[in-house]
Amino acid sequence: MDNNYDASQIQLLEGLEAVRKRPGMYIGSTAARGLHHLVYEIVDNAIDEALAGFCDRIIVEILPENVICVDDNGRGIPVDTHVSGVSAAELVYTKLHAGGKFGGSGYKVSGGLHGVGAAVVNALSEWTNVEIHKDGKKHGMRFSRGDVIQDLIITGDTERSGTIVKFKPDADIFEETIFEFETLESRMREQAFLNAGLQIILRDKRDESNIIKSEFCYDGGIRSFVEYINSNKTPVHDNIIYISGEKGESLAEVAIQYNDGYSENILSFANNIRTTEGGMHETGFRSAITRVINDYGRRFKLLKEDDKNLSGEDVREGMSAIISVKLLDAQFEGQTKSKLGNSEMRTLVEQIIGDKLAAYLEENPAVAKAIMEKSVQAARAREAARKARELSRKQKNTDSAALPGKLADCYERDPALTELFIVEGDSAGGSAKGGRDSNFQAILPLWGKMLNVEKARLDKVYGNEKLMPIITALGAGVGEEFDVSKLRYGKIILMADADVDGSHIRTLLLTFFFRFMRPLVEHGHVFIAQPPLYKLVRGKNVRYAFTDDERDRVYAEMAGNEQNARIDVSRNKGLGEMDKSELRETTMLPESRTLLRVEIDDAIAADQIFTILMGDKVEPRKAFIDKYAKYAVDLDV
């Protein structure tokens, strides 16, 4: 590695136009997700310094007025003059595709593939201040909405090295500019796991009287990551399997531990970037681990001669795994970097799994036996699920009414235009049927509590009288067979009472979707209806309110100047308490309703929440309640 990181390693590809006009192209959206992406881009630049071996500490702070400060102790951005005639630092912050990641010797391995991060953050910020500590001097420059307002100057002497970046997101660009500490905390924890020994400190200093701090540093790297993922689960073997290997400049490492649950949780990364859509490294992992476990089972007679091979689904049941690769010239699909395309990484991962996992299983027969027993049980359950599925299909084929009997379907057949309301109870279902627009809105009433799938395999889902109507109505299958392209309705809207029972039913449904129909959530098809909490009546004047604050405001408006005006305020706990016209106007009409889209910004956090709330362990659930009880609202008393 060349320690001489200077302007000759900064390459200019094109200018900075269009970022402010089309920010979504660069950061995904102008909502909360895009806002937090700004922080990730600057932190990723600091982590690239860590990958290069020159940084071991990063401090991220949320300052008053939601200003972000990122401080690293790397080499510092080059400050000498580039061949283009301006300082290298100015180039990095004002031009797209300008950086040390395009084949120069500045960085060999980098997550910042496209070299747009710093410039995009600058362009989308009201102001950006950059302070560079390098070669004994402290340098500073300032920007506003991408333009230089103070050229790079020397501001003093320094004994440290590194870069400090402060920026304030532009309120003209973003829908909101309030950072969520827990969102940043999750990302910083993840990056610390992926970079063993790197210290990342996160502080929320917006309230100086109550500074919140999290500090992350994991010498165990991705082994600690798997341990964290399984912290609320029961492992079937104590030791975390860790294997790694390299070829040339490429490195691959994998950590695995099985738990007694029924869901797989495989997270893959390339150069510290989460590859949410997988890619070659994940493909290599999946194919190799299936082959290795089958080979082990055959060699040691844990699979009988007449047994079929275990499927990939079987060997991954209950698996938590991290796949992390580092490589030169990573080829991602798009700026979102969601899928790795380098075919050589498939070969490398297959090789280390094939050689080193096989050796590990032979050297650790107790672990191998636990994995084999888990996989064989999964295969038996899969076979039971197959038979149940075939029986279900036969019943549908012989039944003239293939759709659930209680489903009130709509006339429209284009999924892009249709909505399915899953409604708690027959009474509310009756109101919803009366209040719907039957052209595009379908109603499926449910009654009673359904199966908690967090504690059940897929074979238990088939034949379940509460879940099968949902599977049949959606028409896209379930589990590994789920195909979102076959979905019969574009919006799946959960409509339950605003009480404890209603919340429980929503959680059960969301657990089912997350565990057995995850693409349904990932593609944004699941919504939660928001019926009004309060009804205010004064004579013939009827108003509704969705929050306590709105109730107070509406009450004041209805009272006007009459302080003793009689206004009846009632709390709506049940959907069945509203007649069809009320339900239509407040909760179902697209023009006047409020829907909450269910999204998965953080799959790790979502997995943990469902495990805590719906799993077998009581202590994590008690700890969760203790932590969040003060935020609970609208519960029965």
Beta-carbon count within 10 A of 67 CB:
20
Q: 145 in helix, strand or coil?
A: coil
> Is 497 tagged catalytic?
yes
SS3 string of 188-208? HHHHHHHCCCCEEEEEECCCC
For the record, the structure tokens of 395 come out as 């019943």
Instruction: Tell me the chain's radius of gyration from C-alpha atoms.
Output: 28
Under a CB-based contact definition with an 8 Å cutoff, are residues 484 and 476 in contact? yes
* Set 72, 170, 419, 424: catalytic member: 424
For the record, the structure tokens of 218 come out as 């994991």
* Set 227, 344, 499, 616: catalytic member: 499
* Set 501, 522, 577, 634: catalytic member: 501
Report the length, in residues, of the chain.
637
Nearest to 75 by CA among 120, 29, 107, 104: 107
> Is 424 tagged catalytic?
yes
How many helices (H) does the chain have, and how many strands (E)? 20, 23
Alpha-carbon distance values, 248 to 2, 103, 216 (Å): 18, 16, 30
Q: 560 in helix, strand or coil?
A: coil
Q: Pairing relation of β-strands 137-144 and 595-597?
A: unpaired
Long-range pairs, 288-292, Cβ under 8 A, ≥24? 288/349, 288/350, 288/353, 288/354, 288/357, 289/315, 289/316, 289/353, 289/357, 290/315, 291/354, 292/353, 292/354, 292/357, 292/358, 292/361
Under a CB-based contact definition with an 8 Å cutoff, are residues 173 and 30 in contact? yes
> Is 501 tagged catalytic?
yes
Q: How far apart are CA 69 and CA 88, in angstroms?
A: 21
Under a CB-based contact definition with an 8 Å cutoff, are residues 174 and 30 in contact? yes
**Contacts with 401 (C-beta within 8 Å, 6 or more apart), sequence order:** none
**Contacts with 60 (C-beta within 8 Å, 6 or more apart), sequence order:** 39, 43, 68, 69, 70, 71, 184, 188, 200, 201, 202, 203
* Set 41, 282, 497, 607: catalytic member: 497
Q: How far apart are CA 351 and CA 468, in angstroms?
A: 42
Q: 344 in helix, strand or coil?
A: helix
Alpha-carbon distance values, 56 to 51, 115, 117 (Å): 9, 22, 21
Catalytic residues: 424, 497, 499, 501
